[in-house]
Structure 1
């Protein structure tokens, strides 16, 4: 189960409700959950904020988050 699906299960939100919070339609939320599309960079930040950090950019883009947001990597070493 990916981070978005886990968050939805824990929060009780539907895909549609979550989508409205982060500016996506239900279909796009479904595609992100199923891994049919990568989570767009701007959407990662919105999801991290909407979930109060329960789902992070690192969770959403595990393979390239450090390339996209090098400041997060630097903060780990501070």
Structure 2
């Protein structure tokens, strides 16, 4: 989830709050999950990918299990093995 951390670093506090709200969550929740190293919920991952304009993808956010949540991504140009993180 380093991509998300870096993405948020480039924003002001107000922009982070607005981004989280656009994703249907709070910046507190996002920071807590980053701090604990825990995966974000599937719906939140989809929203982050959308709101970040794919700068941060679902594969970045859930590198170990994205293929279980979004099997359609495996068929759509994912030429790496499901366990590999896509840069």
Bucket of the pairwise TM-score, normalised by the shorter protein = 0.7 to 0.9
- TM-score, scaled relative to structure 1: 0.82
Gaps of 5+ in 1: none
Cα-Cα RMSD: 2.0
Question: Residues 18-29 of structure 1 correspond to what in structure 2 (within 5 A)?
Answer: 18-29=19-30
**Whole-angstrom CA distance in 2 between matches of 1:51 and 1:68:** 19
Question: Residues 1-78 of structure 1 correspond to what in structure 2 (within 5 A)?
Answer: 2-10=2-10, 12-14=11-13, 15-76=16-77
Q: Is the 8 A contact 2:30 2:40 kept in 1?
A: no
Residues 1:13 and 1:46: Cα distance change in structure 2 (over 3 Å): farther
Q: Is the partner of 1:76 in helix, strand or coil?
A: coil
Gaps of 5+ in 2: 80-87
Q: Is the partner of 1:29 in helix, strand or coil?
A: helix
- TM-score, scaled relative to structure 2: 0.75
**Whole-angstrom CA distance in 2 between matches of 1:57 and 1:5:** 14
More helix by percentage: 1
Aligned residues: 77
